[in-house]
Amino acid sequence: MKLKIIGSGGCVSTPRPCCNCPICVEAREKGFPYARTGCSLYLED
């Protein structure tokens, strides 16, 4: 079995849906690298 780690930014993605705090607003405006995905794995088998 082969696993590929494709996301390790944090346990919660940024920006969070419907959140209007300054961090999420900045992430929506500027995109990468301010916007981050959450943890994710890709299973190749």
Residues at the contact surface with Zn ion, assessed by CB under 5 A:
16, 19, 21, 24
CB of 25 to Zn ion, least distance (A): 8
CB of 30 to Zn ion, least distance (A): 14
User: Which one, 12 or 41, has the nearer CB to Zn ion?
Assistant: 12
User: Which one, 5 or 32, has the nearer CB to Zn ion?
Assistant: 32
All residues at 6 or more sequence positions from 45 whose CB lies less than 8 Å from its CB, including other chains: 1, 2
**CA 20 – CA 8 distance, rounded (Å):** 23
**CA 7 – CA 37 distance, rounded (Å):** 6
